[in-house]
């Protein structure tokens, strides 16, 4: 909604649900992508805002859409976290 209304761009809006809660809860080891931080990553299609991939503890947990095509095009076998 914030992006749709032009109040924030997507990275700023995402920080509100990632970095801000980590800071509020004083979880200094998460909330941003930086060396030494814990990171579960979400890859979003910017145009339609669908979640296309989640990476949890360094493993792909979910993969679909254009992100799936890019990973498959790499030509290496993928191991999902559920496997």
pLDDT for 48 equals 85
> What is the value of pTM for the model shown?
0.65
| Cα 71 → chain centroid | 15
pLDDT digits (tens, 9 = 90+) for 39-63: 788 888 888 888 999 988 788 899 9
Residue 5, pLDDT > 90, answer yes
Give the whole-angstrom CA distance, residue 2 versus residue 17: 12
């Amino acid at each position: 909604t914030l992006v749709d209304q032009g109040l924030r761009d997507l990275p700023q809006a995402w920080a509100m649900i990632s970095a801000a809660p980590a800071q509020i809860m004083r979880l200094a080891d998460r909330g941003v992508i930086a060396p030494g931080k814990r990171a579960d990553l979400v890859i979003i299609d910017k145009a339609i805002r669908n979640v296309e991939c989640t990476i949890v503890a360094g493993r792909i947990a979910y993969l679909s859409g254009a992100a799936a095509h890019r990973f498959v095009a790499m030509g290496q076998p993928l191991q999902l976290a559920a496997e």
